[in-house]
């Protein structure tokens, strides 16, 4: 399949490389020439201008920073929707606000294209390994078409509902992750102050009812999980700034539907403190430093 891939950053570079590895003809596009060069080295070819590549593509995959970039790339004056062939499948894998996903989906549909939002969970390691989890919003027919493309980049591919439902699943999951991470930090900090070392508390709690992914796969206290960022002074991984972006999306969405998210909102405030202290480039598990009262890098 001929695929135009837009946005070859931390996540998109690995994803585009995996599409090429799976035998797709991947046309790579990014505002950064260096990013395109890296993609070519990984088996893609440089898109010959966005317009030309869009007209050639059977599918377009995007991995961009935020809603405004996605709206612009697809529906802008010289956007993909002005160039692509009728019926082309658009797959946006960025984490963006649900309104933008729905607006781009409606705009694409009105012009005869298929669109799914397909945000991911898994981070850069999973993007490189081709083991991402995709949460897909779109019609059943469009989901089935997208699955063929997503299979090359992910291990778990879920149909969440109509366009926008992928973004809803993503922000709810990440809000829960932030809450569980902060709770895990509090428990390990208290355990230490009560005289339990991290390994002892981990051995007990990971087999008791406090067990959760933030503890057993990503422990924020150094020691028990060797691969966790806590063992490399909280270098990411998944940066606190990215988590804060997702918590703000969750907060805005919750306000619109009047859902109470007291712990999500508190989590957002704690990550905003990391942002204010200039430590939001640390991994999101670095919120442990804030809980310990050691916010400096």
Q: Of residues 204-263, which lie at the interface with ligand NAD (CB under 6 A)? A: 238, 242, 245
Query: By CB under 6 A, is residue 94 in contact with ligand NAD?
Result: yes
My answer on whether omega of the bond before 237 falls inside 30° of 0, hence cis, is yes
Query: By CB under 6 A, is residue 120 in contact with ligand NAD?
Result: yes
Using alpha carbons, select from 279, 238, 245, 214 the residue that is nearest to residue 10: 238
172/168 Cα distance (integer angstroms): 6
Binding test (CB under 6 A) with ligand NAD, winner from 39, 54, 60, 69: 69
Least distance from ligand NAD to the Cβ atom of residue 85, Å: 20
Query: By CB under 6 A, is residue 71 in contact with ligand NAD?
Result: no
250/261 Cα distance (integer angstroms): 9
Least distance from ligand NAD to the Cβ atom of residue 119, Å: 6
Binding test (CB under 6 A) with ligand NAD, winner from 17, 20, 28, 35: 35
Binding test (CB under 6 A) with ligand NAD, winner from 3, 4, 12, 101: 12
273/287 Cα distance (integer angstroms): 9
Residue 155 appears among annotated catalytic residues:
no
3-state secondary structure of 136: strand
**Of 68, 170, 193, 256, which is the active-site residue?**
170
CA distances from 123 to 5, 17, 45, 238 (A): 18, 15, 24, 6
Least distance from ligand NAD to the Cβ atom of residue 296, Å: 24
3-state secondary structure of 262: helix
The residues of the shown chain that bind ligand NAD, judged by CB under 6 A, are 6-12, 29-32, 35, 63-65, 69, 72-73, 94-95, 120, 123-124, 238, 242, 245
Q: Which residues are catalytic?
A: 170
């Amino acid at each position: 399949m001929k695929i135009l891939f837009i946005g070859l950053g931390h996540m998109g570079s690995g994803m585009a490389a995996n599409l090429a590895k799976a035998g797709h003809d991947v046309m790579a596009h990014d505002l950064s020439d260096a990013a395109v060069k890296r993609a070519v080295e990984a088996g893609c070819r440089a898109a010959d201008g966005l317009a030309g590549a869009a007209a050639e593509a059977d599918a377009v995959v995007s991995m961009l920073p935020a809603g405004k970039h996605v709206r612009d790339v697809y529906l802008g004056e010289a956007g993909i929707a002005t160039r692509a062939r009728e019926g082309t499948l658009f797959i946006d894998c960025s984490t963006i606000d649900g309104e933008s996903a729905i607006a781009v989906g409606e705009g694409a549909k009105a012009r005869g294209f298929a669109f799914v939002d397909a945000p991911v969970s898994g981070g850069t390691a999973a993007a490189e390994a081709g083991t991402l989890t995709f949460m897909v919003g779109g019609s059943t027919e469009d989901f089935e078409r997208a699955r063929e493309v997503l299979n090359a980049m992910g291990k778990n591919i879920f149909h969440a509902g109509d366009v926008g439902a992928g973004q809803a699943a993503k922000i709810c999951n990440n809000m829960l992750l932030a809450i569980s991470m902060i709770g895990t930090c509090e428990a390990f900090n208290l355990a230490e102050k009560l005289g339990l070392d991290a390994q002892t508390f981990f051995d007990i709690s990971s087999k008791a009812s406090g067990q959760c992914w933030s503890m057993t796969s990503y422990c924020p206290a150094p020691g028990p999980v060797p691969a966790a960022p806590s063992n490399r002074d909280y270098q990411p991984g998944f940066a606190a700034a990215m988590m804060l972006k997702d918590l703000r999306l969750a907060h805005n969405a919750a306000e619109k539907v009047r859902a109470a998210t007291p712990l999500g909102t508190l989590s957002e405030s704690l990550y905003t403190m990391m942002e204010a202290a200039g430590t939001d480039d640390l991994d999101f598990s670095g919120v442990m430093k804030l809980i310990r009262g050691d916010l400096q890098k």
